[in-house]
Each structure stands twice: as C-alpha cells, then as structure tokens.
Amino acid sequence: MSVLPLLAHSNADDIVARRGGESISLARFLVDVGRVMAVLPPCRHVLNLCADRYRFAVGLAASMASQRVSLLPSTHTLETLRQMAAFAPDCHILTDADPGQYPLPAVVFPPADEAMPSAVCPAVPRLDARQHVAWVFTSGSTGLPVPHRKSWGRLVTSVRATAAALGIDPTRPPTLVGTVPPQHMFGFESTVLLAWLGGGAFDASRPFYPADIVATLGRVPDAVLVTTPFHLRTLLDADLPLPGLEFVLSATAPLPTELARRAEAAFQAPLFEIYGSTETGQVATRRSATSAAWTLTRDVRLSIRDGQGWIEGDDMDAPIALADVIDVVGERQFTLVGRNADIINIAGKRTSLDYLDRQLAAIDGVRDGAFHLPDGGRDDSHITRLAAFVVAPGLDAASLRAALRERIDPAFMPRPLILLDALPRNATGKLPYANREALLAAHRAQDRMDTPEDVRLPSRPGESRITIAANHPAFAGHFPGRPIVPGVVLLDEAAGALALALGLDEPCWHLGSVKFIRAVGPGANMYLKWQQSGASGAIAFTLADDDGVIASGSLTPGGAQTP
Amino acid sequence: MALTSSCADETLIAEVAALVVSALNLEISPAAIAPDEPLFGDGLGLDSIDILEVALVVSKRYGFSLRADNEDNLKIFASLRSLADHVAANRGQ
C-alpha cells in the first residue's frame, strides 16, 4: 500500500501560500486545517465554495485529512447545487460568503486565528494513494452532471508529472497566481495541487481586472501566472507595464501561436500550455510559441480508432475518449486537429449542445428548443456567444432567461434568445446546423437597433435547398471511384439559386471571395443561406448540410438585372 | 447617492451605455439600458467575460485601469450608473 503526503513542504516555516504580500507558513496552514476539521459537521461529502484560494486549500486539506470527499461541479448554479444535494444528500457547503444564500446546509469558514502557531508544527497528513478524495463533474450529455472519481494517488501522478515537465524546482519555489478558480479542474490541479506537490506557494487571491493581475504578479517573488487564453488576451491588450515572470501556464482552450509569442515577449518568460481533461487529469504540455505538438508528461498511451482519439494508462480504469480530434505525430507527441462537433468551449468553459438543450427542455413551459453555436464560433481568439431558439407559448424572454440562469453557467447564456412559434425540424426530428444558421441569419436580418430581442419571427425562414444530381455531367472524369462535386459546380448552383430567390434575370455575377471548406459527393443535399449588404449589394452566402459548412463566399450581382 | 463631482451626468451615462453596447455587440439600443438596473445576472445579463471586455474598452477610452483591489470584482458594474460614476471619478482630467 502506497502512502503519499498531502504536500511536499516539510519545514514549519516553508511558505505554502501568500496573501496581500504576507507569507503563510506550513505551520500556520496545518493549524488552520485542524481548525476547519473541528467545525466540519459529521458528513461524508463537502462542497467547498470558498472563493479565497487559501481557504479553499485549507478546506480541501481538512476534508482529505478527515476522509471526506470533496465535490467539484463545473459550475455553481442553483440547479447544480440541487443536483449535488441529490447526488450526496449528506453534503454540506463550506463557504467564506453568506451561508444563507444556498439551498444546502452551509458551514462558514472559521474566522482567522491571529495567534502564532505553537512551536510544535502539526504533522503533514499522509494519505493512502487509494483514498477517494474528490468527485469532479463534467456536464455530460444526459442533462445530469457526470461524476468522475479522483483518488489521491491519481491526482498526485497527474500533477507531479506536470511539475516535472515544467521543471519546477523545490529549492526555488515559485508562487502561482491564478486567474482561474480553485474549484475548476485546471485551477484545482494547476494552482492548489501544483503548489502542494511542487513545493511552491499560491497566492490566495483570484485577481480579475488586468491591473489587479499585474499588481499581484508584481508583489510575489518568482511569480507564475496560471490563466486561460481569454484572460491572457485581455491582460496583454490592456498595454500595462508587465513584470518578468518565471513562466506562464495556460489551459482550457488551445492558445493561438501569435498570442503565445506575445505573452513570452511581454513577460520575458516561457509560456506552457497544459493539455488535460476532467476525465484524464493533466497529460501533456507544449511550449506553444515554438511547438504545435504536445508532449505527454506521464506514462499513458494514445491511439486513434475510427477517427476518435483515445488515451489509456495504468492509472485509468478504462481507455478514455478525448474531446479533441488528435493526430499522433511521434511516440510521445500529438497535435490537435479539431474538436468533436458536439463539444463547445466558450472562453475556456466546456459543455455540450446536448446538455444545454436538455436544460432548456427541462424548463416548465418550454415545448421545444435548441442551442446553436454560430458560424465562426470555433475560433478561440474571439468570444462567440451561443444562440438559442425556443418555443414557449406563454413565457417571455425575461422569465426564460431567469429560469436558464438557474441551470447553466453564465458563459453559455444564449444571446440572442429567439422565441419562435415552431422549430423547422426535419423529417427525423433534427434541427440541422444549416437550419439553425438560417434561423439566426433571419433573426439578424430582421433585427433593428430598437427591436426587442424577443421579437417573434415567422417559423419558416427564407432558405434554398440545393441537390446535386447523382448523374451530373461534372462527375465524369473527376476522381474516378470517389466522385466529388467540383467547386465551380457548387458556385454555379449557389449563384443560380440566389438569382431565382432574388428575382434576378441572369445577372452577371462578380465573385468577391469563395472558400471551399469540405468536399461533397453526388446526391448531396445542401442548404443555401445568404445575406445581402444594403450598401454594396454584395451577398454573403453559405452552403451547408447537416454536417456543417461546405463553402462560403460573397457574390455581387451586376449587369442584366430585372428592373 | 450623494451629488458629488464624481457623479456621472446624463451625457456620460449615454456615452458609457453606447460603449457597452458596441463593445459587446449587444442587440439592443443603448437607450434601452435602464441606468439603475443590474448590468449582470437578472438585469442585462452580462457575465464576467463581458465585464473584462468592457473594462478593456473603458480603460482605452478614458485612460485609466479598472481595479477591484480585493473588493467584489463586479461592484463597479452593479449598474450602468455605477459604471458611469466610476468613469467620472477616475477618468483622465
């Protein structure tokens, strides 16, 4: 049986945390852990909502040292708290805020004890590697949070491997400054556990505005910034004078190379990204300014079966499917090729459209509804918000939003929220991507500055269907055995459909731009949606089918137009 | 609220409202934002992502950096009026 200490620090005056320029020693920390253990009620599960990172860490350590299991859901909406209570009815909240605001019994973090800890430093707790320490939840696709069991041994394996890959030196311990909360998997592993297991410290705060982040980084020695692409971009865009750092750590969404290079130049330090997930823990890193490939940090194996990436290792019960599409480029290296269609990521927060649709459907009075990630929403450099189409006679937009806010993370709140009389679902009951894009385009076209968002649209938006006949002459001679529709034919069909829909008589089209994104074969069934700009007359169009965009571009009609 | 020199006038409130709408590409008119309604949560429905984006635009436009200094991060954004007041009190003279 393997026994592992709670943290790597061993001397009573080793620094484990900092707050506002003050240092917090190992002795102080262990005394605080004992004080929290004394106030925890006789429960098996703890939902640790302390916003202060130090208090979170003390609460976590107190829970671990007393064989309690911490619950780490991905969001803290009212509905999630209720789901946690249903999952573990004995669960108590530990909070450093007003305990009256929660639907569960809550314990307040005890007030600070200013007395110096006695000369005798309490012993560092040691835990059986198999001890169940936490349930970490993902949003899953059933509408209920999916629990993932974390033993102390597995967390230690994951985070120690990261610490080694980053070259964290216990003789020169860094201070980790996180813009991410300790309750989310990345912040949990990369601020609290990385400091514990790497022998460093973390700052208790979670600075928010760029100027606050800069001030915090400037007052701690050997600072490391632990952040997300979104926070990093707003920080760099603020153009503030930045202090030099030991390194920068980013995760939750892939960081564009350009942003990684800017960050390295601005902080005079390397930037590392971490690849991991709630299911797998941290598994790989890359220095993003110089490498597109990720290098595994621990003894796991990658494989690709039927286009799906899998990861397996001795510390996992079964192979785990990755949320990203990967390409294995070396024995211990891989690159990211794309994301599985249903997984969405808004400013580093992940969920699935399925999950959101089920949350919508669960609201009283909602007859039908669907979330949609608008075209362009797969680019991580700008935050694209979700849209939602809802059929809910008798409900207005404000009450729908209030009900949704209880269920889903604010980052996923739909914008716009479009109320309709019916959804144009197809024969199999699906609302394909192209239909959702068309609904959104119709809403935007109709929208005027003073129009309220919840204006009711006709249930059938304008759109055209295009089918390429299987015996189209263009297939002859093109890629024998694997016929595809040539781009010129797609363009021709799109222009023809536009002329028909707009009542133009054989116009002379000027092609502004066109991008062919995906090949389609004979018999392809496509939707065409478009929007005409009033000023130039240019028509932006998108050709898509149920699997997504096929081609997009811009055409301007000229010449022989009907009056 | 006391009438001090840091209180925003109607012109500044309208200007900040326009800034919020354009920074976030909101599908509403600036005039539709009630000055005393909450900007986040149940009111306009902004979240911390929006607030960082607006903070950036405000700092560029008015030449000062927003700080929370361990206070509630969202206090400045409690309402359009509180944001405009904060701008009035901190903008470059």
Residue in A419, A413, A158 with CA at minimum distance from that of residue A298? A158
Helix (H, G, I), strand (E, B) or coil at A514: strand
- Look at A526 and B92; give whichever has higher pLDDT: A526
pLDDT tens digits, A372-393: 998 765 444 458 889 999 999 9
Q: Is A416 on the interface with B (CB under 8 A)?
A: yes
Q: Which chain B residues are Cβ-neighbours of A451 within 8 angstroms? A: 27
Q: Which of A209, A231, A415 sits opposite B66 (nearest CB)?
A: A209
Query: Residue B49: phi, psi to the nearest 5?
Result: -65, -45
Contact B56 A234 (CB under 8 A): yes
pLDDT for res A520? 78
Distance CA B32, CA B14 (A): 10
Both tokens assigned to A364: 């009283």
Architecture of domain A454-556: Roll (3.10)
Please name the residues in contact with A80: beta carbons below 8 A apart, sequence gap of 6 or more. Answer: A73, A74, A145, A407
Are A283 and A297 spatial neighbours (Cβ–Cβ below 8 Å)?
yes
DSSP A113-138: --SPPPSSPPPPPEEETT-EEEEEEE
Please classify residue A101 by burial: count the beta carbons closer than 10 Å to its beta carbon, then call 0-12 exposed, 13-18 middle and 19+ buried. Answer: exposed
Both tokens assigned to A106: 């809550």
Statement: residue A20 has pLDDT above 80:
yes
Distance CA A414, CA A364 (A): 18
| Range of A287-301, A533-547, B68-82 with top mean pLDDT | A287-301
Contact B69 A212 (CB under 8 A): yes
Query: Between the CA of residue A504 and those of A105, A508, A513, what are the distances in Å?
Result: 67, 10, 20
Distance CA A533, CA A536 (A): 6
Distance CA A253, CA A236 (A): 17
pLDDT > 70: percent of chain A = 89
Give the CA count within 13 Å in the CB-facing half-sphere of A113: 16
| Range of A63-67, A72-76, A426-430, A540-544 with top mean pLDDT | A63-67
Q: Is A386 on the interface with B (CB under 8 A)?
A: no
What value does the mean pLDDT take over residues A71-97?
95
| Range of A60-64, A298-302, A308-312 with top mean pLDDT | A60-64
Mutation for testing the A interface, residue in B24, B46, B47, B90 having most A CBs under 10 Å: B47
Query: Between the CA of residue A126 and those of A24, A161, A396, A404, B63, what are the distances in Å?
Result: 21, 20, 55, 43, 52
Instruction: List, in sequence order, every residue forming a beta bridge with A226; answer none if it has no partner.
Output: A178, A249
Both tokens assigned to A250: 């980013």
Distance CA A173, CA A221 (A): 9
Residues belonging to chain A: 563
pLDDT for res A456? 32
pLDDT tens digits, A32-56: 999 999 999 999 999 999 999 999 9
Residue in A34, A36, A27 with CA at minimum distance from that of residue A7? A27
Q: Quick one: pLDDT band at residue A562, thresholds 50, 70, 90? A: very low
Across chain B, mean pLDDT equals 85
Distance CA A82, CA A85 (A): 5
Mutation for testing the A interface, residue in B46, B56, B62, B72 having most A CBs under 10 Å: B56
10 Å Cβ neighbour count for B37? 13
- To which residue do tokens 């008798």 refer? A394
What global pTM score does this model have? 0.79
Torsion angle of C-alpha atoms A350, A353, A355, A360, degrees rounded to 10: 120
Distance CA A387, CA A369 (A): 11
Helix (H, G, I), strand (E, B) or coil at A23: strand
What number is the ipTM of this complex?
0.88
Are A527 and A435 spatial neighbours (Cβ–Cβ below 8 Å)?
yes
Contact A238 B59 (CB under 8 A): yes
CA A534 to chain centre: 37
- Domains delineated in chain B: 10-25+37-90 (1.10.1200.10)
Domain range annotation of chain A: 3-339, 370-450, 454-556
Q: Which helix (H) or strand (E) holds A555?
A: strand A548-558
Phi-psi region of A131 (alpha: psi -120 to 50; beta: other; left: phi over 0): beta
The packing angle between helices B10-24 and B80-90, to 10°, is 110
The packing angle between helices B10-24 and B48-62, to 10°, is 120
How many residue contacts between A and B have a Cβ separation below 8 Å? 68
Of A191-195, A243-247, A473-477, A536-540, which gets the smallest average pLDDT? A473-477
DSSP A34-98: HHHHHHS-S-SEEEE--SSHHHHHHHHHHHHHTT-EEEE-S---HHHHHHHHHH-TT-EEEESS-
The full 3-state SS of A243-297, as one line of letters, equals CCCCEEEECCCCCCHHHHHHHHHHHCCCEEEEEEECCCEEEEEEECCCCCCEEEC
pLDDT for res B72? 73
Q: Quick one: pLDDT band at residue A76, thresholds 50, 70, 90? A: very high
Residue in A347, A408, A124 with CA at minimum distance from that of residue B49? A347
Q: Which chain B residues are Cβ-neighbours of A442 within 8 angstroms? A: none
Chain B residue closest in CA terms to A97:
B72
pLDDT for res A447? 62
Give the CA count within 13 Å in the CB-facing half-sphere of A516: 11
Distance CA B43, CA B49 (A): 16
Helix (H, G, I), strand (E, B) or coil at A165: helix
Helix (H, G, I), strand (E, B) or coil at A306: coil
CATH 3.10.150.10 fits A3-339, yes or no: no
Distance CA A190, CA A177 (A): 10
Contact B68 A238 (CB under 8 A): no
DSSP B31-60: GGS-TTSBSBTTSS-B-HHHHHHHHHHHHH
pLDDT for res A521? 77
Q: Which of B40, B47, B65 sits opposite A238 (nearest CB)?
A: B65
Q: Smallest CA–CA separation between B44 and chain A, in Å?
A: 10
Statement: residue A459 has pLDDT above 80:
no
Statement: residue A522 has pLDDT above 60:
yes
Across chain A, mean pLDDT equals 87
| CB within 8 Å of chain B, chain A residues 206-235 | 207-212, 215, 230-231, 234
What value does the mean pLDDT take over residues A352-367?
92
Q: Which chain B residues are Cβ-neighbours of A405 within 8 angstroms? A: 41-42, 45
DSSP state of A193: I
Q: Which helix (H) or strand (E) holds A18?
A: strand A15-19
Are A387 and A371 spatial neighbours (Cβ–Cβ below 8 Å)?
yes
Of the options 3.30.300.30, 3.40.50.150, 3.10.110.10, 1.20.1600.10, the CATH number for the domain spanning A370-450: 3.30.300.30
